[in-house]
Amino acid sequence: MPYTSLAMPELPEVETIKNELSPLVVGQRFTQVTICDPKLVCGTSVEELGQGLVGQTIQSIERRGKYLIFNLSGGRSVIMHLRMTGTLLLNARVTSRYARAVFRLSNRTDLVFNDQRRLGLVWLVKDASTVIARLGPEPLAESFTPDVLAGLLEKHRIPIKATLLDQSIIAGIGNMYADEALFAARIHPLKKADALSPEEVATLCHHIGSVLRSAISGRGASVGTYVRPEGQLGSAQFHFKVAHRYGEPCPACGTAIKRISVRNRGTYFCSNCQRLTSRR
């Protein structure tokens, strides 16, 4: 499958990292913190981050949107955002010039924050809401219903693709899975969010959930630099219908998949299955 651009880890990739790290690091203490790139640390100094982590036990790991939250025994939290090319690797070689931080744990595990483009960020906070308060609702929560989605969309006269990518509206959906959900719902990415019919909203709500859950089952999509904590690839990309499939035949009708830009984001869709105007 040809990939034409890097892809940021989205909800399924971050959920996979959380799921695979949790049994290996929860209950372990930070024994040493090495920051290779000071620009990684946000909201505090490198020294304060190290002092605040060493001796603390990881009590749990949560995901909120695309953020990972490590809850610590002292009541504070470490929040990580991988951004475009960040990965968290267990016991990886740290000779790579892309290693930005190494967290040594009490079981002699090294958790390496690797980041080719150096865009990821790490916070140490007393209250996680100081970082994540502006995020919209979680699309996999039971409370995320068609009525909730309709209430969010009716406020926006922008393309539905752009609406799905706005993390303050819905948390966690990124470029790949927005394209996949819109294709599954047969909705054109340029259709205005507030113009969707109740039936389209209900269909889209269903497919947002099914697309994300399917990708989590595939351990995320290894498009670009994403790998799982122990170095394995995800397989969700092999089930993509339109994302990163420019020029390939639509699996539903055979029409060549098109690529356009929506608010400066590459967008893949089928012009036959996802019509901007209704057939007459």
Residue 32, pLDDT > 50, answer: yes
| 6 domain-assigned | no
Average confidence (pLDDT) over 13-17? 98
Catalytic machinery residues: 9-10, 66, 265
The mean-pLDDT minimum among 90-94, 229-233, 263-267 falls in 90-94
Domain count, the chain: 2
SS3 letters for 161-191? HHHHHCCCCCCCCCHHHHHHHHHHHCCCCCC
Residue 9, pLDDT > 50, answer: yes
Residue 194, pLDDT > 70, answer: yes
99-105 and 110-115 strand pairing: antiparallel
Average confidence (pLDDT) over 96-115? 93
| Mean pLDDT value across the chain | 94
In angstroms, what CA-CA distances link 29 with 1, 32, 144, 162, 269?
41, 9, 35, 41, 46
User: Do 204 and 117 fall within a single domain?
Assistant: no
Structural domain that includes position 59: 11-132
| 240 domain-assigned | yes
Counting beta carbons within 10 angstroms of the beta carbon of residue 205, is it exposed (0 to 12), middle (13 to 18) or buried (19 or more)? Answer: buried
Predicted TM-score of the model (pTM): 0.94
pLDDT in tens, 35-94: 999 999 999 999 999 999 999 999 999 999 999 999 999 999 999 999 999 999 998 766
Residue 278, pLDDT > 60, answer: no
User: Do 155 and 204 fall within a single domain?
Assistant: yes
pLDDT score, position 277: 78
pLDDT score, position 8: 82
User: Do 156 and 127 fall within a single domain?
Assistant: no
User: Do 253 and 153 fall within a single domain?
Assistant: yes
User: Do 117 and 159 fall within a single domain?
Assistant: no
The torsion region of residue 171 among left (phi > 0), alpha (psi -120 to 50) and beta comes to: beta
Three-state secondary-structure class, residue 121:
strand
pLDDT score, position 125: 98
pLDDT in tens, 153-175: 999 999 999 999 999 999 999 99
Q: How many residues does the chain have?
A: 280
Q: Are 231 and 195 in contact (CB under 8 A)?
A: no
* CATH number, domain containing residue 248: 1.10.8.50
Residue 7, pLDDT > 80, answer: no
pLDDT score, position 260: 97
pLDDT in tens, 202-215: 999 999 999 999 99
User: Do 150 and 263 fall within a single domain?
Assistant: yes
User: Do 52 and 124 fall within a single domain?
Assistant: yes
Amino acid at 269: F
Three-state secondary-structure class, residue 87:
strand
